[in-house]
Amino acid sequence: MQALTNRSMVVVNKKMTWMERIYLPAIIGGLMITIRHLFKKKVTIQYPEQERPRSAVYRGWHVLKRDEQGRENCTACGLCAVACPAEAITMTAAERKPGEEHLYREEKYASVYEINMLRCIFCGLCEEACPKEAIFLTDRIVPSGMLRENFIFGKDKLVEGVEPDNRIDVSKRARAHRTY
Ligand code: SF4
Ligand code: SF4
């Protein structure tokens, strides 16, 4: 019968020598390999204390943007949800009431907007589909966790803050879009 691989070898059940039976040379050989690795340059880093540099247009944790006046850009049109190949986005639309003009830019807004981060494949299609420049992927990494429900990111985790210090800079991604 033809061998499946050219790395096959014939197993010989020969009797072990005295040196082989005390396993000492094999143990010393193993320790030498470990010691050699101690002095080699480490390829790992101490994450999360240390982080590797990432591309400015890395696709990570999404942000729902506000305009210059602090109003939410999203108008709950649903195009991002339709474009999402992972069906990770769900939302509930609501009508803006008189007096809420300072909160929402358009007459319709998303009262609920959720992304299932366990389904998301960070493809960026939601960002490309959005006609209002409301959703962008950012260079922030989604934190790890043990509970599935913690990966449903609602508006509390997606909408950026109103204060200038809490705004998320997406200018590099926005510029990248305009070159398409
Ligand atoms: S990045 Fe891709 S998979 Fe994730 S929510 Fe947007 S469209 Fe869906
Ligand atoms: S994020 Fe953009 S595409 Fe998605 S519902 Fe809001 S406005 Fe529409």
Q: What is the pLDDT of residue 6?
A: 80
Among 43-52, 103-112, 121-130, whose mean pLDDT is lowest? 43-52
Model pLDDT for residues 63-79, shown as the tens digit of each residue: 999 999 999 999 999 99
Q: What is the pLDDT of residue 49?
A: 92
Q: Residue by residue, what is the 3-state secondary structure of the chain?
A: CCCCCCCCCCCCCCCCCHHHHCCHHHHHHHHHHHHHHHCCCCCCCCCCCCCCCCCCCCCCCEEECECCCCCECCCCCCHHHHHCCCCCEEEEEEECCCCCCCCECCCEEEEEEEEECCCCCCCCHHHHHCCCCCEEECCCCCCCCCCHHHHEECHHHHECCCCHHHCCCCHHHHHHHHCC
Task: Considering every ligand atom shown, identify the ligand nearest to the alpha carbon of residue 126 and give its number.
Answer: 1
Domains and CATH numbers, the chain: 62-178 (3.30.70.3270)
Query: Per-residue pLDDT for 10 more than 50?
Result: yes
Q: What is the pLDDT of residue 18?
A: 92
Report the atom number in ligand 2 closest to the C-alpha of 76. Answer: 5
Mean pLDDT, residues 31-44 taken together: 94
Report the atom number in ligand 2 closest to the C-alpha of 89. Answer: 4
Q: Give 14 Cα–ligand 2 centroid separation in angstroms.
A: 71
